[in-house]
Amino acid sequence: MSEPKARKRLLGPADVSPEPALERVVDPTDTLEDEVFGASLRPRSFEDYVGQERVVENLRIAIDAAKRRDEPLEHVLFYGPPGLGKTTLAGLIARELDANFRPTSGPTLDKPKDLVGILTSLEHGDVFFVDEVHRLGRVVEEFLYPAMEDFQIDFIVDRGAYAKTLKLPLKRFTLVGATTRAGMLTAPLRERFGIVHHLDYYADAELERIIVRSAGVLGVPIDGDATTMIAARSRGTPRVANRLLRRVRDFAEVRANGRITAEVADDALRREGVDEVGLDRLDRAFLQTLVKQYGGGPAGIAAIAASLTEDAETLEDVVEPYLLKAGFITRTASGRRATAHAYHHLGLAGAPLAQERLL
């Protein structure tokens, strides 16, 4: 059955009004919905984990070596864009070590006593996972240094000439930190991680494998063309792929007797504002603003944010990374520039080919 022409068009200027970042279906940051469904969709072993082959292989070697020596694994740091599986890998490390998994996040550790309560309850070999580790407060972070390095906590009792330092021993544990902004980690904290891995975006073929597995877990039939289509719009991010799959599944159950075909997937995703390369309304609004208001650039992120009435940090963290990866914009010393690819995708003339050759 041929698809209506209106359904095949590129989403254009009428569709580019920005929506709040927290409501974006392609936002790679974790949500309550992801937490609810994530437990059932996450792989249970390294054999089930798709992608990041080099990282997984090196982790398995390190874990095997630690088990042979009968000692905890070295502290591990994962960094990279959100939604790529850092939390999942931390959980798999604990599972492979047959250890307890104690997750928390940097912003929740507000005071040293919050950290002390967790550290003193850890058993030998436990995996202590700190998400958003770059957001630890300075006092809490400094409290963590001796715990990571010497497996002890230093308490200062009294003040002045009567001050004394008491050392409380801890059981040896493994700290796994995750961050989307490695540049914000202090050097002393970064140096205390013995194993450091960068997680990169996934290829479409890897995302297809994830979607097929998740569809099987959810019990929803899906055609191969639909799998390919969802993967191509998932921005190289497993979390986005699973979220899009859930949205398409809902649409298929109500409008298409439960089966996900390519036509069903395309219709469902366009209703969510997601176009054929994974851009949503905020992404297109970003590009439209850069091209139309600033002549394709260069333009500073603060100026673009003001034009969109969005937070500059939100644009830097959840919008720009994919636009850069997909080649829609470039960063220069003088600001952001739109590429010929952006002009072509928006259906606009006047692509800055000459400018790009000069960059």
The pLDDT value given to residue 114: 83
Q: Tell me which amino acid residue 286 is.
A: F
180 as an active site residue: the answer is yes
Catalytic residue among 88, 174, 180, 314: 180
**Are 54 and 48 within 8 A, CB to CB?**
no
* Spatial separation of the C-alpha atoms in residues 29 and 277, rounded to whole Å: 19
Domain chopping of the chain, boundaries: 52-198, 202-277, 281-358
Q: How remote is the C-alpha of 164 from its chain's centroid?
A: 43
Catalytic residue among 24, 27, 34, 86: 86
* Spatial separation of the C-alpha atoms in residues 247 and 255, rounded to whole Å: 12
Q: Determine whether domain 202-277 maps to CATH 3.40.640.10.
A: no
Catalytic residue among 27, 42, 87, 330: 87
Catalytic residue among 27, 34, 131, 267: 131
* Spatial separation of the C-alpha atoms in residues 316 and 150, rounded to whole Å: 37
**Are 282 and 293 within 8 A, CB to CB?**
no
108 as an active site residue: the answer is no
Listed as ranges, residues in the chain with pLDDT below 50 are 1-22, 354-359
111 as an active site residue: the answer is no
* Spatial separation of the C-alpha atoms in residues 349 and 199, rounded to whole Å: 36
Peptide bond into 221 cis (omega under 30): no
The pLDDT value given to residue 317: 78
Closest CA to 348 of 306, 274, 273, 296: 296
Catalytic residue among 239, 246, 249, 336: 239
87 as an active site residue: the answer is yes
Each residue's pLDDT tens digit, 1-51: 444 433 343 444 334 444 444 467 776 665 555 565 666 788 888 998 999
CATH architecture of 281-358: Orthogonal Bundle (1.10)
How many CB atoms lie under 10 A from the CB of residue 280? Answer: 25
The CATH number given to 52-198 is 3.40.50.300
